[in-house]
Structure 1
Amino acid sequence: MINDHESVINVGSDEEYDEVEDDTTIINSSDPLSRFTLDKSLAAKMYIEQYYINVQQSVKERGQRRKDLETKLENMKLSSKEQNDLRKELDKKESDYMRIKRLRLKRSDFELIKIIGRGAFGEVSLVRHKESNDLYAMKRLKKSEMLKKEQVAHVRAERDVLASANNDWVVKLYYSFQDDSYLYLIMEYLPGGDMMSLLIKYDIFTEDQARFYIAETLLAIESVHNLGYIHRDIKPDNLLLDKEGHVKLCDLGLCTGFHRLHSSEFYQMLVGDAMTIKMKLIESTPLTQTERIQSWKKARRALAYSAVGTPDYTAPEVFLQVGYGKEVDWWSLGVILYEMVVGHPPFLSDNTTETCLKILNCKETLHIPNDMGLSREVIDLIKRLVCEKDRLKTADEIKLHPFFKNINWDTIRKQKAPFIPELKSPTDTSNFDEYEALDDAESQKNKTPNKRHTSIIGKNVVKDKDLAFIGFTYKGFDAVNKSPSHQRRPVDGIFNNNNNQ
């Protein structure tokens, strides 16, 4: 495997690949020379391109951190000595950061505390860094599954968005790295669980409670849009809560910078064979609405972690493959608002296909109960977001809606959240579901590189599947504050720019 932060000519170190046997240089292929040459040149090309992109980004962001400091100093009443001390503190942080970027992280650097999430392609665990004792959420994704299910672009999109985000609305990424079998994202641990757990616990929110969380979710979505991305997977499961109960966006694997449309495979998996499903619908006894809601709540978490996922929050234009923009995220926001004040999503059905059909025919299928006592403002906002035409298309338009008339957008994160997580300790995971640890024998078995279809750059092996993940390694500037040698300094909090490695 190529380690994407080392030299092209001599990638990695002897100790990292001490399990690689000498005969891995023999390529088992019908045309070994051409395969070897092509793989080697492709890996080198990809690495060099990523290397120079990172260098340019690093210089740009370092300059921006200095500029940010000087701007801060202009607005602070400090003596010349105090200003110079802060400049020296920044210089020290930059030096610490350069040191951290040279460190090579591996899975064994982290102690597993508990698994807090599991999906179709991997799992999320609460871990402790052995050297610093800092807590993180570690997302581990299996490379072979990502390639098999064509999810490489998705995990790369998530890594890139998290790396470029520099705000309070997106979960913070500290590191990313890889080994022979897995990709790892090391992120901040948010102990409050997710919004779906909160909805399952309380069933229905008051309009004031919904207003707070929808306003924060709006700002979180806007922050992703400002980076040039659309999220495309806004749902309660992807809204995490910090220890104060405030919202942060996670799971940005479906984000896109408008370079390609939603994959057709996703739609095909959801819809399946229409004739077969229609026959099953005819043969089965339809559920009552009450039974349907109870069934949905019971199966909701399992569906969220399946490979297909839930289409309940997906805009119709995504299914139609007609091209779309940021407004698909505002549709999802409206669906979540409906669920908060009604108790279930608006297009709830017995199966995903029927849900998709209802979404595509939303003009006729969107019904807001009359017996819920909902205000005109909340009903109007839902209808302005969950619609095909005349949908509110920008964050600024939505902020001006009467439903948000008492919201202070500049200070909302400083306000008290409606629900504050009850935490007994820093490692309290009570707000997450329980998961059994899986046998990791397969991971150990796969430590020895496959001898088929490999190429060499310098000393090390580059396997075919690893070509897709060149450039994945990342260390953020915020990791400086997590460094065991770094004590909190006066300059902390002023600079949060990230930097690729």
Structure 2
Amino acid sequence: MDESTFFFPPDSDLDLSFTSTTTDRTFTSSSARTSLARSSLTLSFNDRLSTTSATATNDSSTSVICRPHRSSDPHWSAIKAATTLSSDGRLHLRHLKLIRHLGTGNLGRVFLCRLRDYDGANFALKVVDKDLLSAKKLSHVETEAEILHALDHPFLPTLYARIDVSHYTCLLIDYCPGGDLHSLLCKQPGNRLPIQAARFFAAEVLVALEYLHALGIVYRDLKPENILLREDGHVMLSDFDLCFKADVDPKFEYRAHSGKSKTKVSCFNYETKSSKEKVVAEFVAEPITAFSRSCVGTHEYLAPELVNGYGHGNGVDWWAFGVFIYEMLYGTTPFKGCNKESTLRNIASSKEMRFHVADREEIGMVEARDLIEKLLVKDPIKRLGCCRGATDIKGHPFFNGIKWPLIRTYKPPEVRGLLRKKSRSNISNVTLKKRRWWWKGLEYIMRNKGVQSNFLSSYSNHNYYQYVNSSKVR
């Protein structure tokens, strides 16, 4: 591919002379994605970078965004140090040192960078040349910047700064060294994940979508290529240029949930169970009035209402979520044809989806198929999640056993090719063994006293969570 060069005004002190060697759309550490990776339908951007003179104006605007959720992140400390030492108290391009080119996306190019004189924090710098984009794509740039500015969530990117200089817009965001989930799937046997790993990633993506919908944001581009992996193995959704915003009415709904408890019917029988109902308050924030006629997304993940062109709303994300779970478990998408046209015909047809059921399969696959079937309902009114969003999906038996408030503390699954942050080196093996024996001793004492201590399993170093079959839930 021809070499292309950016030229910024002299005061930027930022050299962006790189040879374009990949068309990766993510902010990752490698270009592991192959040319077979799926692109969004709006990909009409020519992979060509401008070569303009350095006589542009020196005017630039910078905004540094503070976020309470990530306020303790060491990246913020590095940025605050740089802005404090700056003559005008602002972050400029000259404060950044480019390491290498990461990829080219729908709207611009992405580079790995660090702050000068500080190598302890890596960032991804998304550079958009506004002179190369149409008015429609310029609106996508502003939409993405606006959405990134509003995000403050562990499974979504943090926008550390926006720098506007000349006709360039630069977004400084999180860098994910673990690559993307599409590349991880390609490393697995049959391009599929064990059900425990699939549930882990599905649960975190579900929480991220719940947060977006609570803000009235319909994502519209969910796929493994847009799910990046942080250094600790947890996910981060990327690419928000295809999103659209709508009104949302957050509220608490009170619902009656049935439960079971043990009752004593005789001095020898404690096993008789009686059903009880308890009222539970559930938070619901779903943009049910969202509506758009734009045909955007990735063809294998498009919902039927989007393919038919009748207009779509929040339901397209829950359809894509069902396709996403299917692909993780089966290694392909459910409606994939020999080409894009046949795939779209399969999606729009009235034929029901079929599963390949193996003779011997993992525990939980029955629940997984039931969830996928409820998400891939072609009528959006009847589709799971369209009315009450993630609240209903979280309650499905496939996710039994997951403690949602603690999900960010779960240990990532052990799968081939997944980069995971190493444990702290200052904790010796002797200390770990002492802790393990201490917890085992405590569990032994509590069991002898008749106390059932299921919570102790959460301290195991071997499992990030245990699957709980719906038939065993008490």
TM-score for both structures, normalised by structure 1: 0.55
After TM superposition, the structure 1 = structure 2 runs for residues 90-489 of structure 1, keeping only pairs within 5 Å, are 102-133=88-119, 134-147=121-134, 150-202=136-188, 203-258=191-246, 262=292, 264=294, 266=295, 310-361=298-349, 363-364=350-351, 366-371=353-358, 373=361, 375-389=365-379, 390-393=382-385, 394-419=389-414, 421-422=418-419
**2:98 alignment partner AA:** L
Task: Kindly state the Cα deviation for residue 97 of structure 1 after the two structures are TM-superposed.
Answer: 7.8
Report if aligned partners of 2:230, 2:236 keep a CA contact under 8 Å in 1: yes
Distance 2:84 2:97 in 1: 25
Distance 1:396 1:359 in 2: 26
Distance 1:397 1:311 in 2: 26
Distance 1:140 1:263 in 2: 29
SS of aligned partner of 1:112: strand
Report if aligned partners of 1:262, 1:321 keep a CA contact under 8 Å in 2: no
SS of aligned partner of 1:368: coil
**2:138 alignment partner AA:** V
Equivalent position of 1:277 in the other structure:
none
SS of aligned partner of 1:199: helix
Report if aligned partners of 1:114, 1:127 keep a CA contact under 8 Å in 2: yes
Task: Kindly state the Cα deviation for residue 334 of structure 1 after the two structures are TM-superposed.
Answer: 0.6
Structure 1 residues 100 and 230 mapped into 2: Cα distance closer, same or farther (>3 Å)? farther
SS of aligned partner of 1:333: helix
Task: Kindly state the Cα deviation for residue 179 of structure 1 after the two structures are TM-superposed.
Answer: 2.8
Task: Kindly state the Cα deviation for residue 104 of structure 1 after the two structures are TM-superposed.
Answer: 4.9
Higher helix fraction: Structure 1 or Structure 2? 1
Distance 1:14 1:197 in 2: 38
- The gaps in structure 1 that reach 5 residues or longer are 1-12, 22-49, 69-92, 268-308, 426-501
Deviation per residue, 1:181-202 (Å, 9 max, x gap):
4321110111111111111111
Task: Kindly state the Cα deviation for residue 246 of structure 1 after the two structures are TM-superposed.
Answer: 0.6
SS of aligned partner of 1:224: helix
Structure 1 residues 206 and 422 mapped into 2: Cα distance closer, same or farther (>3 Å)? closer
Distance 1:412 1:354 in 2: 38
**1:334 alignment partner AA:** G
**1:377 alignment partner AA:** E
Report if aligned partners of 1:125, 1:137 keep a CA contact under 8 Å in 2: yes
Report if aligned partners of 1:127, 1:138 keep a CA contact under 8 Å in 2: yes
Distance 2:369 2:110 in 1: 37
Aligned-pair identity (%): 33
Report if aligned partners of 2:162, 2:169 keep a CA contact under 8 Å in 1: yes
- The gaps in structure 2 that reach 5 residues or longer are 1-8, 13-52, 70-78, 248-289, 423-474
Structure 1 residues 18 and 403 mapped into 2: Cα distance closer, same or farther (>3 Å)? closer
Distance 1:118 1:94 in 2: 29
**1:380 alignment partner AA:** D
SS of aligned partner of 1:411: helix
Distance 1:358 1:199 in 2: 24
Structure 1 residues 151 and 243 mapped into 2: Cα distance closer, same or farther (>3 Å)? same
Report if aligned partners of 2:222, 2:317 keep a CA contact under 8 Å in 1: yes
Report if aligned partners of 2:218, 2:317 keep a CA contact under 8 Å in 1: yes
Distance 1:205 1:347 in 2: 19
Deviation per residue, 1:220-240 (Å, 9 max, x gap):
111111112111111111111
SS of aligned partner of 1:340: helix
Report if aligned partners of 1:169, 1:223 keep a CA contact under 8 Å in 2: no
**1:185 alignment partner AA:** L
Aligned residues: 310
Structure 1 residues 228 and 94 mapped into 2: Cα distance closer, same or farther (>3 Å)? farther
Report if aligned partners of 1:157, 1:255 keep a CA contact under 8 Å in 2: yes
Deviation per residue, 1:62-93 (Å, 9 max, x gap):
9xx7xx9xxxxxxxxxxxxxxxxxxxxxxxx9
TM-score for both structures, normalised by structure 2: 0.58
Report if aligned partners of 2:233, 2:420 keep a CA contact under 8 Å in 1: no
Task: Kindly state the Cα deviation for residue 101 of structure 1 after the two structures are TM-superposed.
Answer: 11
Distance 1:102 1:334 in 2: 49
**1:191 alignment partner AA:** P
Task: Kindly state the Cα deviation for residue 100 of structure 1 after the two structures are TM-superposed.
Answer: 7.5
Query: How big is the alpha-carbon RMSD for the aligned residues of Structure 1 and Structure 2?
Result: 3.8
Higher strand fraction: Structure 1 or Structure 2? 2
